[in-house]
Structure 1
Amino acid sequence: MKVTKDMTIGELLMADRGAGMILMQNGMHCVGCPSAAGETLEEASMVHGMDCDKLVTELNAYLEAK
């Protein structure tokens, strides 16, 4: 699986629940919020003032290491 900016948080967590820890470590603590599940990683990154490219890179590194 390859993580992209247009992937929703819900899709990511359905594919790998452990990815939630990466999101939380990057300051996205609303992972369990029902409305967050429908947001793309890019949308959520903008709301939280995060660098989406950095987040996607970290998520893909996590998944590749598994």
Structure 2
Amino acid sequence: MVTRDMNIMEIVQKYPVAVEVFQRHGLGCVGCMIASGETLGEGIEAHGLDVKLILDEINALIQK
């Protein structure tokens, strides 16, 4: 399960399917240098997006 406090790059490494959700919401997390030191919550909020919505989407894909 992915949480808002997890590091973005760790999420991508552990759950590559998360990239699909990032792309769907216009988040370039994978290519962003800041992603290695930023939590998912920080990254999403920096773009003015809904953290819960994106977390729910990522976790739903992981469960499939």
Query: How high is the TM-score relative to the length of structure 2?
Result: 0.88
Secondary structure of the 1:31 match is: helix
Q: Compare 43-52 and 25-34 and name the one that shifted more.
A: 25-34
Moved runs in structure 1, 4+ residues, more than 3 A?
Answer: none
Residue matched to 1:29 = 28
Q: Give me the whole-angstrom Cα distance separating, in 2, the residues matched to 1:61 and 1:7.
A: 17
Residue matched to 1:38 = 37
Shift of residue 34, structure 1, vs aligned partner: 2.0
Once the two structures are aligned, what percentage of the paired residues are identical?
Answer: 38
Shift of residue 47, structure 1, vs aligned partner: 0.7
- 1:9 matched to 2:8: yes
Q: What is the number of equivalent residue pairs in this alignment?
A: 64
